[in-house]
Chain A
Amino acid sequence: MSAHAAEAADLIDHGHAGDDGHGHDELVENNYMKVPNVKLAIWTFLGSECMFFGSLIATYFFYLDKSIGGLLPKEVFSIGITSISTFILLTSSFTMAMAVDTAKSGLMSKSRNWLLITALCGATFVGFQVYEFWHFVHLGLTLQTSLFGSTFYVMTGFHGAHVSVGVIWLLMVAKLVHSGKIPAERAVFVESAGLYWHFVDIVWIVIFTFVYLLEFAK
């Protein structure tokens, strides 16, 4: 009983609950996990996304070299061009990290600029991908051509869709930072967008390495 009384006194002394005063969705953030709600939600979401891309990438490898007819990966891939777009996307992870860092330091206008640069890099990557798809289709590889066509376009297409969603997300965050709705003490919203952005980058590293580069190592 005395142990319980001591525990109760401790809990009262060290404060508990109450709203976090920022007027957003979190009502009572007791923060048991030492991670803010938004960030924990993004981490959970990324866990779910791992299974999503895991399934798509597994499908690609399940069907690798099982196509009947149609162009082979080596006949369409252009490592030079894809390397450039990959470089741009990876650079955007650096600019994203700068956006998070400046936001945490309270340099909000700098953070906004880094966010816009990151979004620009993302949009450029999507532009490269649109060109790549257009180019491959003209070479004769379509969604319907073969298992390679189907799996390649759907897998990289969904990655491109994720990058596009990320660009819109970053633009929204940049606007909120600009209008002062995300001040330094809510930098976690910049950080959350950053977590998603880095994840999308990591997925691309996996795809670029195993889908593109390995073709040429065989």
Chain B
Amino acid sequence: MSAKLHDIEALQAPEPHMHYERPGKTGLMDWLTTVDHKKVGVVYWAAGAFFLLVGGLEALLFRIQLAVPDNDFMGGETFNGLVTMHATTMVFLAIMPMTAGFANFLVPLLIGARDVAFPRLNAWSLWTFLGGALVINASFLFGGPPAAGWTGYAPLTGPEFGGTGIDFWWSGLALLSASSMAASINFIVTILNMRAPGMTLLRVPVLGWMMLVIQFLLALSFPPVTVGLILLGFDRMFGTTFYNVSMGGDPQLWQHLFWLFGHPEVYVLILPAMGIVSEILPVFARRPLFGQTAVIFSGIFIGFVGFGVWAHHMFTAGMGPVADAAFAATTAIIAIPTGVKIFNWLGTLWGGKMTYPTPMLFAIAFIPIFTLGGLSGLMHAAAPLDLQQHDSYFVVAHFHYVLVGGALLGLFAGTYFYFPKVTGRMMSDGLGKAHFWLFLIGMNITFFPQHMLGNEGMPRRIYTYPADAQWDLYNMLGTIGVIIMTVAMLIFVYNVIVSVKKGAIAGRDPWDAATLEWLTESPPKVQNFDFTPIVLSERPVWDHKYTEGMEIIAPEKGESFHMPSYSWKPMISSGFVLMLIIGILLNTFMPGNWLWIVAALAAVGVVGSVWAWVSEPV
């Protein structure tokens, strides 16, 4: 670090003038009524991390069942419930909200904004997400969890076969869908319209870009599954015939509506992790991201083509050779932009002055592990091969390499990288490395043998297997790996809790990084920036620190900011939406007029709270 470092503190413009409609709250009330994107982001991340542990615990339980053949640790129904909840939790309640946490905290900072476009709507998304998470998990207390698999294929979910857990499942997912759609609109407007002066679209950091792409995916892919869930709900509540085969209904309708959402959803999970890795690699290789524009356009391309590949989940459903060939081709095309990204990451590292703190370890590991998952995905693109692999453990191995080795490693990298910005303190590097190595070893021990299990014919979603199938060794390895990952996660949780209070003070820019968020204090003030930054390149803070004549321009006198005040309206409004779902659940247990009474009250409540919302000064 011999290069000249300007003193960022010297950039402190005169204190800005802040004005609020209402004085702020403190303590718990502050968190309940906050509209600050940073606090909303922290709650999202914490909720996601909590459910990551819950989902992990569910996995640990069913891995114990699968450790040895002919095991009777749990019955088939319990196993089905745990597998369904494990996947639903990990996708919707762990990875998505952790991603949302990064989006909320970082996007306004990355683009030099003071908050998101609609701060109260942002809080509404948070509470609605928490409501949905609550509903889905409440199934454990009332009548048992859903057990139809996270894909919820008809007719397993129908009134005939699906238990009461399905009602919690579909209505909770509908809430999550509403939350995601509101958030996606909010972030699209934020990123498109609220960038700092000079930040043209191609100067938006890659992480900001990937967040923008996934918001489009969320906005356009959630409606089909919402329709699918509503049709399912109508079948279950009112006896409609959408998925009822005896009335001419076609279960494939659900599969199309679900995967039209489900495959873009995969990119919703992985693109932010790619964005995080694209931010971290340049910082610790001390080189700008190789081909940043190509990385951005690859992400856009993945998002675009991601809408044309959904039926590769349905090769065994009998769609016919034309559809199979078309979807096989589009699926194979996705490998091209993904490959572009991988080579750009490698190009970034090539000849870099590398250092290896914990975030860099996770980011580097992301590349080969994710590539393994990507390659087995490419194998599935070949329809004839996929017919053999469908619903086998090979598929399980594939998507765990993508989602654990890809999305989750990326999110861990981001957690270690941005923790100092969020809390003002560093996480312990020693504990971080222990977490990294144990987790990496554990996940490979668990998921790599599952490729072989799949090739040997073990189907997914079976709760036990006979000894003469000779699947013992790989299954035992899987369970051992999960135990190692559990230990790694305990170290991670301990690290987070201890570091929040006792970590080393980080300062503004502990990693000597390149983008605008490192210009702010750690943790950033409520207004983020004391002055409006002017951006003249993709790496404004590096340019500022290391280039002659590239100053970050601070105004001579303090600006005047109107910051949004706290508000109860988002939580109240979200609460009335939750009430509607409670009406639906009451209908499950006490059929009768409950639904209509509660729904009418909820509708009045929603209208009233929205009126209070729009007429409230902010």
Contacts and interface: CB of A to CB of B under 8 A. Distances in A.
A27 B112 CA distance: 12
Contacts of B21: 23
B230 to A, nearest CB: 7
Contact of A5 (B240, B549, B614): B549
B564 A27 contact: yes
A138 interface: no
30 contacts: A4-B537, A16-B196, A16-B532, A17-B197, A23-B21, A23-B617, A25-B117, A25-B119, A25-B120, A27-B561, A28-B113, A30-B193, A30-B196, A32-B194, A37-B193, A40-B192, A41-B188, A45-B185, A55-B227, A55-B257, A63-B248, A63-B249, A66-B248, A66-B250, A68-B247, A146-B241, A146-B247, A154-B230, A176-B615, A181-B615
B118 A55 contact: no
B362 interface: no
Interface of B: 21, 113-115, 117-121, 181, 184-186, 188-189, 192-198, 219-224, 226-228, 230-231, 234, 238-242, 247-250, 253, 257, 260, 532, 534, 536-537, 548-550, 553, 559-564, 607, 610-611, 614-615, 617-618
A144 B198 CA distance: 58
Contacts, number: 179
Pick the most buried of B21, B247, B532: most chain A CB atoms within 10 A of its CB: B247
Contacts of A11: 197-198, 534
B250 A33 contact: no
B562 A19 contact: yes
Most buried by B among A32, A49, A55, A181: A55
A47 to B, nearest CB: 6
B289 to A, nearest CB: 20
Contacts of B611: 172
Given A55-B224, A143-B239, A40 B193 contact: yes
Interface in A9-64: 11-12, 16-19, 21, 23-33, 35, 37, 40-41, 44-45, 47-49, 51-52, 54-56, 59, 62-63
Contacts of B186: 41
B534 A48 contact: no
Interface residues of A, number: 56
Given A18-B560, A55-B223, A150-B234, 13 more contacts: A8-B536, A25-B117, A25-B119, A28-B194, A37-B118, A41-B185, A45-B219, A48-B184, A48-B220, A49-B223, A56-B227, A144-B239, A150-B241
Most buried by B among A24, A26, A51, A52: A51
A45, A147, A150 interface centre (most CB from chain B within 10 Å): A150
A41 B614 contact: no
A67 B71 CA distance: 46
Contacts of B537: 4
Contacts of A79: none
A27 B223 contact: no
B226 A52 contact: yes
A44 B536 CA distance: 29
A202 interface: no
B562 A23 contact: yes
A168 interface: yes
A17 B220 contact: no
A215 interface: no
